[in-house]
Structure 1
């Protein structure tokens, strides 16, 4: 399965409405990839959220990836792993991993991850002070031999071209799209995709 160039990483605390409503608005604005990150939720609550999101997005062509929570249990067949999480057995349909340095990218490649997010590329309002930031040059240095990589962390529409030029397959965005789903059109335009 080919993932879209734009992945939205959720944070219900930044959405100005129920998360399910925000995701429908994002899908209506052309988003076709979502990483449901709500890792702080207990497994049962996260599973119920996944069910609600799947139901609400049923009429949209959206790939839903679910971050494995603090309990280490996947809540769906397509998962996103933290940098230090164990690789799940049996292997899910799609596995992605958060990466921040060459060692983590190398681990993800050796495990056979389908994609990685690499962060932080730029300073981020969602995680202020997190870093040091890689910038496009640092991002590019990490991508040799990597699975398809998504630039994450402070990525604005004006940064997309630099991320792609550095070798990223796409971008992953949290805060700006959680706060304003209509911005999806700007990211998609920068990626050369239509809404």
Structure 2
């Protein structure tokens, strides 16, 4: 079952919070293994993947790795999420048939292609403007979720707090992936409770 809420995790985030987030009910964690503000080696990235897996898997959560099939396999993660410049979805499915496989998409045509190539879900976004990742294309808006829904479960991403996460679900998203909505508030656990309520 694809989680309805994914928490993106990078090397600057407080990993001590992860078990608490998983105990509350967050069942998806995505390790950002590329595009970090401070360059890290592959060995450091692999260690981060392993630390996240060790922190959340005992509580029933799954871990996907952003962009890197090799790190997902080496770190015993559950899946990989691929962007437009990463390994093609069909190739990732061929070499890692057992991984949960997500693909970044911006419209229904891209979602259909990802489904045909073997993806399990599509990450659609940015739905709203966000400051968590620079250089993103223009925000799609909620209508894009409704237009793209159907071929694959959609995880909306980009500028989502709890009220917007609820709107994304109502528009047809299976769930959401968040960065700032969890890591910027002073109490990530309370933010997690609000997000979990919003996507339930």
TM-aligned CA distance change 1:158 to 1:47, over 3 Å:
same
CA distance in 2, matches of 1:128, 1:58: 30
1:40-79 correspondence to structure 2 within 5 Å: 40=35, 41-69=40-68, 73-76=70-73, 77-79=78-80
CA offsets 1:35-75 (integer angstroms, 9 cap, x no match): 11122543322222222222223431111111233xx6342
Give the aligned partner of residue 124 of structure 2: 118
- State the shift of 1:80 in Å: 1.2
Task: State which of 14, 26, 29 in structure 2 corresponds to 1:34.
Answer: 29
1:147-162 correspondence to structure 2 within 5 Å: 147-162=152-167
> Where does the alignment leave 5 or more consecutive residues of structure 1 unmatched?
none
**Which runs of 4 or more aligned residues in structure 1 lie more than 4 Å from their structure 2 counterparts after TM superposition?**
none
Give the aligned partner of residue 184 of structure 1: 192
* TM-score (structure 1 length as normaliser): 0.83
* TM-score (structure 2 length as normaliser): 0.81
The structure that is helix-richer by fraction is 2
CA distance in 1, matches of 2:17, 2:184: 9
CA distance in 2, matches of 1:66, 1:130: 19
Q: Secondary structure at the match of 2:51?
A: helix
- Check the 8 A contact 2:8/2:178 in 1, yes or no: yes
Paired positions, count:
184
- Check the 8 A contact 2:6/2:178 in 1, yes or no: yes
- Check the 8 A contact 1:11/1:175 in 2, yes or no: no
Cα-Cα RMSD: 2.1
